[in-house]
Structure 1
């Protein structure tokens, strides 16, 4: 079994140059943020690095 690499909400926000509050708000309203659906572990949101890389490379994130 291979573990997926993830970012915390703070790291995700820093990568996208926005506020963690913005990330959480978008997630609460739509269930995704910038087209990326996080993994929910307890009360934490963890964002897959593979999806973040696609977003930063200009690819379509589904």
Structure 2
């Protein structure tokens, strides 16, 4: 059983997995991971890093990124 409250954050739907973010942006999840690795963010989006090393991205920040046209 996992007692980390962040582990259930993806179920909250306020967050997206890296794969879901990639699908929304029509790109490879690895491209997002690479940019995050190099710069610490993906064009200003900063994920939450879970204890299992997975990344969760805020869904509302994705909407802002899309609307800004970046």
Q: What SS does the aligned partner of 2:46 have?
A: coil
Pair member with larger Rg = 2
Q: Say whether residues 1:16 and 2:25 are aligned partners.
A: yes
Distance 1:32 1:21 in 2: 13
Q: Aligned residue pairs: how many? A: 58
CA RMSD of aligned residues (A): 1.9
Q: Aligned runs of 1:1-62 on 2, under 5 Å?
A: 5-42=14-51, 43-58=53-68
Unmatched tracts of structure 1, length 5 or more: none
Structure (1 or 2) with the greater helix fraction = 2
Moved over 6 A (4+): none
TM-score (normalised: structure 2): 0.74
Unmatched tracts of structure 2, length 5 or more: 1-11
Cα drift, residue 59 of structure 1:
7.1
